[in-house]
Amino acid sequence: ASPEKEAFDLYPNPASNKVEIVGNTAIKIIDMQGRVVMSHNIDGRKCIDISSLATGLYVVQDENGNVKKLFKH
């Protein structure tokens, strides 16, 4: 049996320029229209530049279906 996959962590939240994601997974950042605006493979920890994203609410989803909301300000 494989171990349970851990959900990822992200901070700071809300964020303005960069967000750090901690976990071992692939994530997608999805806007409120359902468009995938970014996708990244996270291998332990990764700092992602979100300064190009418009202000608002996003959903961050990993490959296991775990979801977190991200506020960009």
The CA distance from 63 to 65, in Å, is 6
- Please give the pLDDT value at position 7: 87
The CA distance from 37 to 28, in Å, is 8
- Please give the pLDDT value at position 61: 97
- Please give the pLDDT value at position 5: 60
- Greatest pairwise CA separation for the chain in angstroms: 42
Mean pLDDT of the chain: 93
Q: Are 38 and 19 in contact (CB under 8 A)?
A: no
Give the pair of three-digit tokens for residue 32. 């409120």
Give the pair of three-digit tokens for residue 17. 């320029």
The CA distance from 50 to 30, in Å, is 12
- Please give the pLDDT value at position 47: 98
Find the mean pLDDT for residues 8-26: 97
